[in-house]
Structure 1
Amino acid sequence: MATYRDFIDGLKPYGDKRIVATFGLGMASGFPLTFVISLLGIWLSREGVSKSDVGLFALITTFYTWKFLWSPAIDRLPLGPITKVFGQRRGWLFAIQAMMAGSLIAMATLEPATELYSVAVLAAFIAFLSASQDIVIDAYRIEIIEDEDQGYSAASYVFGYRTANFIAGAGVVAFAYFYGWSAAILLLPLLLVPGVLAALWVGEPERKQDGDFIKAEREAHKSLPVVLERLREAVYLPFKEFTRREHWLLILLFIFFFKAGDAVTAIMTGPLIVELGYSDLDIATANKTVGFITLMVGVALGAVLYKRIGIYQALLLTGILMMLTNLGFAWLATSATEGWRLGLTVGLENFATGLGTTVVIAYFAGLCNVNFTATQYALLSSLGNQARTVLGAPSGYVAEAVGWFEFFLYATALALPGLVLLMVLWKKSVGGGTLATGLATGKGKADI
């Protein structure tokens, strides 16, 4: 039985400087998405831009879904003097952050009412840079942390990410209220500073030696020109290596379906709460206070869970909790409109989401070959987001057709395919958090 000392020992890795650094990296990664999907819409609406035009700006979020398409370049293409001085990961990170800071400063000088096209182009570029920064940061934080501490790295990253979400979402809006949006947007580049300092503090991760897979591929294609061989290694081999693994298609299906119910629920909780008649104060208290605290607790405990009970058990437990907490919204839809009910439902749902987010991020890290970290992680995370797009898009029509109670039963049922696939993977010992189990070869990550 776990003791209090076991619990305290489980929290000690959070003091490791590399784990602390991932908090700063999470902050740099978190705020651009908040700007793209939230702040931008508020700013444009305040400036008199029509709802139809504001809605079109949602198209720029496709960069996050398809970021794996250009991840091979970031993974292996050098940037000349920049990567010679700082290394492959930090060179790309600093270059992207410099362009993002410049783009945000330029955005602050624009007037949406008269320069909407320029705002749209610049916003799309910021979204592209944000998705690209995520590619670099995901690879960087995986490579600086040992396998057994990936859960803590994931939790610290999410802490930083959510903290930046909160600062950008609440702090910047409040600052804009007093000093205007131009001044508020000029503050956003400051949130890149923790990521810069973290990368300077920890240094460039050690590049792993090319494994047996790459060596064999080079030998088999040594007649190719060097340029073509390097291009093949960057673009084709990450996908070929992954598809050589046993039951790789099952892994991808599991990733798609695992958080499907949670994703669909998240899209429609806002309309439900508004329709039930909860006040803005009730919503603010539930989401920004109770929800934020329980989310952070879940994130922290997710790392301990991952290390203490193993990846299969952690995924199963968090998957069941995420599924069951969706039922809370079905209960909310049929109960009296009372603040404590909303706080309880949102709190439990956010706690389960926090647990699941940490465990899933750590699971993705364990599936990546260290020779192709950026590309493979971008592919896995993009696939995990596809359920939100594919299954979430028609969720409003489903809710209108069947009603709120039945809709959240449907959202709960969407979690079942992911759990079934998890049990199949568990039984076959596939993708259990390290590449060795994913390939069933007995080799470590650096040997593949």
Structure 2
Amino acid sequence: MTSPSEPIARRILSGRMLAAFAMGFYGGAPLLLTGSVLLAWMEERGIDLTTIGLFALVGLPYTLKFLWAPVFDRFHWPRLGRRRGWLLLTQLLLAVSIGSLAVYGPGASALVLAGLALAVAFFSASQDTLIDAYRRESLHDREQGLGASLYVNGYRLGMLLASGGGLILADWIGFSDMYGLMAALMATGMLVTLLLPEAAAGEAHPNSLKDAVVLPFVEFFRRSEAVWILLFILLYKLGDTVAGQMTTPFYLEMGFSKTEIGAVVKLFGFWATVLGGLAGGALILRYGIYRTLWQFGLLQLLSTAAFAVLVHTGPQLPALTAVISFENLSAGMGTAAFVAFMANQTDRRFTATQYALLSSLMGVPRVIAAAPSGWLATTVGWQNFFILCALFAIPGLLVLPRFRTWLAD
């Protein structure tokens, strides 16, 4: 364990943190191979739009991963351990399923294509579950924020490589060969897993599959603050989630060109988020999760409200750059603290199951609460919309004081 006086740079470059970044990269790389990249390949092959639309269902394993997570908590592999054993098997099957997509692709029947895409999504979601559990068990509570920021940044880099890099590469060598290269890339993740030490769970794992399914729920809901923890997870990032759903239509309506949006929002904003994540992880290490959840939550509130300023400035590139920088830095910091908070709420005996449940719950606002965002923007106008979204962040902050006695360091 690192000492409190050890420099932040040395902690970031420690083996545990580099492992968090590498695992994040391998977690993010396959995500869009069954999403936007596959849909582009299908469009190129002339697949009808109705079929393309139905492929959104392929992403269901990312929402339902808690259903099979108890298997990962219950069973372990001889010599390799509970996390590394499952990770190796999952990464092998993930590489094989991506390679199978490279071979068959949209040229196969829709049923075969859907089955292969579903297999990629299933093994990718399983890998996410195992990586989250490994990170939770291999890092001290105080290190979760920095580990989460490096993991999230690695995840974003993997997504960027597979989506933007994958599409560019497909223009040169074709989609089939590009998917083949992605399969080979994912196979290298097995080498990283073999180099990692097995995470110490700290306590005995469940004695039966029934215990692995039931006990995570029993343990969690016996806590006096269980309902408040779930409520906080639903509310903490509600404001920027609802606002984020409508930002692209807002930019276009304000008069920004697609080139400006791509350059500032997507590329510049990506690096601002990465910087925010690293800064957030370092600050969590210094000040603890409770204080930084407050600080980053307030920054998220203010950065969401800042979009209302663009209503008055019009399509001014410096104003857009300033707002995007502020918002993405705040979002990166807030995400680091939020992910660290969720990790620390898991019991090490059931890390995979409980974290899968909490992370699935985290996605609820993105799907449900963000759905009426277009109606809200139309009804109240852009300025009032972003001010309301900023106010949506307040309920989550009001829940925080309930955690002060046990969350504050």
* TM-score (structure 1 length as normaliser): 0.85
- For residue 158 of structure 1, report the CA deviation from its aligned partner: 1.5
Deviation by residue 1:313-354 (Cα, 9 ceiling, x = unmatched): 100111111111112222224432122222222221111111
Residue in 1 aligned with 2:292?
314
Q: What is the letter of the counterpart of residue 305 of structure 2?
A: L
Residue in 1 aligned with 2:106?
112
- What does 1:138-177 align with in structure 2 at a 5 Å threshold? 138-177=132-171
Structure 2 residue 119 is the aligned partner of structure 1 residue 125: yes
Residue in 1 aligned with 2:21?
23
Structure 2 residue 176 is the aligned partner of structure 1 residue 182: yes
Query: How many residues end up aligned between the 2 structures?
Result: 406
Q: What is the letter of the counterpart of residue 116 of structure 1?
A: A
- For residue 258 of structure 1, report the CA deviation from its aligned partner: 0.6
Residue in 2 aligned with 1:376?
354
Residue in 1 aligned with 2:328?
350
Structure 2 residue 245 is the aligned partner of structure 1 residue 255: no
- For residue 430 of structure 1, report the CA deviation from its aligned partner: 4.6
- What does 1:334-345 align with in structure 2 at a 5 Å threshold? 334-345=312-323
CA 1:43–1:406 in structure 2 vs 1: closer, same or farther (change >3 Å)?
farther
Q: 4+ residue runs of structure 1 moved beyond 4 angstroms?
A: 430-433
Structure 2 residue 81 is the aligned partner of structure 1 residue 103: no
Q: Equivalents in 2 of 1:289, 1:245: separation in Å?
A: 43
Residue in 2 aligned with 1:363?
341
| Cα contact 1:65–1:386 (8 A) shared by 2 | no
The SS at the match of 1:368 is: coil
The SS at the match of 2:269 is: helix
Deviation by residue 1:300-321 (Cα, 9 ceiling, x = unmatched): 1111111211211100111111
Q: Equivalents in 1 of 2:73, 2:58: separation in Å?
A: 23
| Cα contact 1:57–1:120 (8 A) shared by 2 | yes
| Cα contact 1:60–1:124 (8 A) shared by 2 | yes
Deviation by residue 1:117-150 (Cα, 9 ceiling, x = unmatched): 3222221221121111111010111112222222
| Cα contact 1:11–1:304 (8 A) shared by 2 | no
Residue in 1 aligned with 2:39?
41
- For residue 42 of structure 1, report the CA deviation from its aligned partner: 2.2
Q: Equivalents in 2 of 1:318, 1:351: separation in Å?
A: 10
Q: Equivalents in 2 of 1:343, 1:55: separation in Å?
A: 34
| Cα contact 2:92–2:190 (8 A) shared by 1 | no
Q: What is the letter of the counterpart of residue 74 of structure 1?
A: F
| Cα contact 1:97–1:192 (8 A) shared by 2 | yes
| Cα contact 1:251–1:431 (8 A) shared by 2 | no
- For residue 193 of structure 1, report the CA deviation from its aligned partner: 4.6
- What does 1:28-107 align with in structure 2 at a 5 Å threshold? 28-78=26-76, 83-107=77-101
CA 1:122–1:420 in structure 2 vs 1: closer, same or farther (change >3 Å)?
same
Q: Equivalents in 2 of 1:32, 1:188: separation in Å?
A: 8
Residue in 2 aligned with 1:329?
307
Residue in 1 aligned with 2:244?
266
Structure 2 residue 402 is the aligned partner of structure 1 residue 402: no
**Aligned residues: percent identity?**
37
| Cα contact 2:142–2:288 (8 A) shared by 1 | no
Q: Which 10-residue stretch deviates more, 6-15 or 374-383?
A: 6-15
Q: Equivalents in 1 of 2:164, 2:6: separation in Å?
A: 33
- For residue 269 of structure 1, report the CA deviation from its aligned partner: 1.3
Structure 2 residue 388 is the aligned partner of structure 1 residue 419: no
Deviation by residue 1:390-429 (Cα, 9 ceiling, x = unmatched): 1022222322333322322222222111111113333xx2
The SS at the match of 1:321 is: helix
Q: Equivalents in 1 of 2:79, 2:216: separation in Å?
A: 26
Deviation by residue 1:359-416 (Cα, 9 ceiling, x = unmatched): 1111112111111111111111111111111102222232233332232222222211
- For residue 432 of structure 1, report the CA deviation from its aligned partner: 4.9
Q: Equivalents in 1 of 2:185, 2:378: separation in Å?
A: 40
Q: Equivalents in 2 of 1:241, 1:365: separation in Å?
A: 15
Residue in 2 aligned with 1:135?
129
Task: Please point out which of 211, 229, 237 is paired with 1:233.
Answer: 211
Q: Equivalents in 2 of 1:260, 1:151: separation in Å?
A: 20
Task: Please point out which of 246, 250, 253 is paired with 1:275.
Answer: 253
Residue in 2 aligned with 1:446?
none
Q: Equivalents in 2 of 1:102, 1:190: separation in Å?
A: 9
Q: Equivalents in 1 of 2:64, 2:390: separation in Å?
A: 27
Q: Equivalents in 1 of 2:263, 2:367: separation in Å?
A: 28
CA 1:113–1:192 in structure 2 vs 1: closer, same or farther (change >3 Å)?
closer
- For residue 235 of structure 1, report the CA deviation from its aligned partner: 0.4
CA 1:246–1:343 in structure 2 vs 1: closer, same or farther (change >3 Å)?
same
Q: Equivalents in 2 of 1:266, 1:406: separation in Å?
A: 15
The SS at the match of 1:66 is: helix
